[in-house]
Amino acid sequence: MIKDNQKTFNRIHVVIDGCLLALSYVVSYYLRFYSPLRSLIKWDPNAWFYTLPEYSRILFFLIPGYLIIYYLCNLYTPKRVQSKRVSLWNIIKANFLGTFYFTFILYLVKESNYSRYMIFIFFIVNIIFDTGFRAILAYFLKAARKKGYNLKHIVLVGYSRAAEEYIDRILVNPQWGYYIHGILDDNMERGTLYKNIKVIGSIDNLMEILPQNKLDEIAITLSIDEYSKLGRIVGICEKSGVHTKFIPDYQNFFPTVPYTEDLDGLPVINIRNVPLSNTFNRVIKRAVDLFGCICALIIFAIPMITVAIIIKATSPGPVIFCQVRIGRHNKEFKMYKFRSMEVQTESKEKKAWTTFNDPRVTKIGKLIRKTSIDELPQLFNVLRGEMSLVGPRPERPFFVDKFKEEIPRYMIKHQVQPGMTGWAQIKGFRGDTSIRKRIECDLYYIENWTFALDFKILFLTVFNGFINKNAY
């Protein structure tokens, strides 16, 4: 059973990490003092330096400290469903803390003859060794689980939509190594199947199953109508000592993945996670917007002036087209674009959607819309703080009023600043495409925002997003 082997596995893991730390240290020493790297840092080969045994004495303090830091940074927690990005971040974070610990030890012993380059090289080498080892380990563990080894045995308590979705995810991810023995439910008939997973009895059968000590986990997947049984089930599971999970059945009225916070010991479920509701995140994002916007205005100044001259020379009317859009907190603002269509009355313009071969589009308009050059004046909206470089695209008031009645969760996009480009746009959902798909992309962005995601969107916009077949 997994619960019997996990402690042994962790002990072996700790020993291997200790060996890797020592190996990284030795490799770093040779890279610093005996490799071609010496010339890159302008080091005098005749200069005096400690021998390897003298350098290695600090490992008696370094290795135990690093292993404790690894533990605190969750490097020894089960990683069956942990993403590679989270795992890499934990490794980097642990090594950052380890570097501070390394420096602190040197300060305590008043050692000033250790090479700072050596410490930096050790930081890099150790991250590479840690990442490589854990990637290899993960590969072999996943391969073993796919073949039926190293499985975690579980039983579901309660048949619900949550139970079905839990089963779906486990079945399409055999590398997680979960084996479902069956479902216990009071309402479904014994023998009922869902994707070959049987209902094997009622909830009362828990009293017979748990004493056998053959399960690694119990997953409570009760339907919301049966939550009155939750306390009794948790009590039974806790008494047996088996690890217990609770998968709430809230999908019908919580249309997202919520997160919990601790309110002085009281767990509070937030229906929607919006990272940009954090003031620090918004301030940093705004700083990045201003820097990126100023750089873009400098880079695109000549193309923008050229386009403005061509528009003025080929079509009567203003160069810049102002259109009312809905921004953050449902506030209206005027969004700027290069005019790509013939001048229209306001009543026609605000209700019309641009379609394929739209006769209102000018000749230069077709080009600048296809290449998204018409969007460049929105850099001034970014400067004014009305938009961001990346975010959900803002829509006109008429369509906002229409879509909010037709599409669930449509208005959630207004919890963040609208953007010049977004996750939906690089996925191809712009112009006359599915609004529902566009909103799904916007919600993904809102709930999963990181600076890395912003930079990814900007990168893909530059290489994939400027020319788009759906931009009419």
Per-residue pLDDT tens digits for 252-306: 666 566 677 777 778 777 777 788 888 888 999 999 999 999 999 999 999 899 9
Tell me the C-alpha distance between 403 and 410, whole Å.
Answer: 7
Tell me, what's the pLDDT at 212?
A: 73
pTM above 0.75, yes or no: no
Q: Does position 44 have pLDDT exceeding 60, yes or no?
A: no
119-176 pLDDT, tens per residue?
888 999 999 998 988 888 877 877 777 776 777 888 898 888 888 888 888 888 877 7
How confident is residue 52, by pLDDT bands cut at 50, 70 and 90?
confident
Cα 419–Cα 422–Cα 428 angle in degrees, nearest 5: 135
pLDDT at position 37: 64
C-beta separation of 447 from 393 below 8 A = no
| The CA-based dihedral angle spanning residues 247, 248, 252, 255, taken in that order and rounded to the nearest 10 degrees | -80
Contact by Cβ (8 Å): 422, 390: yes
pLDDT at site 210 = 81
Radius of gyration over every alpha carbon of the chain, rounded to an integer in angstroms: 29
**Amino acid 357: pLDDT:** 60
What's the CATH number for 152-253? 3.40.50.720
- Cα–Cα distance for residue pair 192/201, rounded to 1 Å: 10
Convert the pLDDT of each residue in 382-392 to its tens digit: 999 999 999 99
Euclidean distance between CA atoms 457 and 440, whole angstroms: 16
Residues 6+ apart with CB under 8 A from 13: 76
What digits encode the pLDDT tens for the residues 404-430? 888 877 888 888 999 999 988 888 777
Domain segments of the chain: what residues?
2-146, 152-253, 279-465
Of 376, 373, 372, 370, give the one whose Cα is nearest residue 469.
Answer: 370
| Confidence (pLDDT) at 11 | 80
CA distance 307 to 314: 11
Cα-Cα-Cα-Cα dihedral sign, residues 315, 316, 318, 323: negative
Q: CB–CB of 416/446 below 8 Å?
A: yes
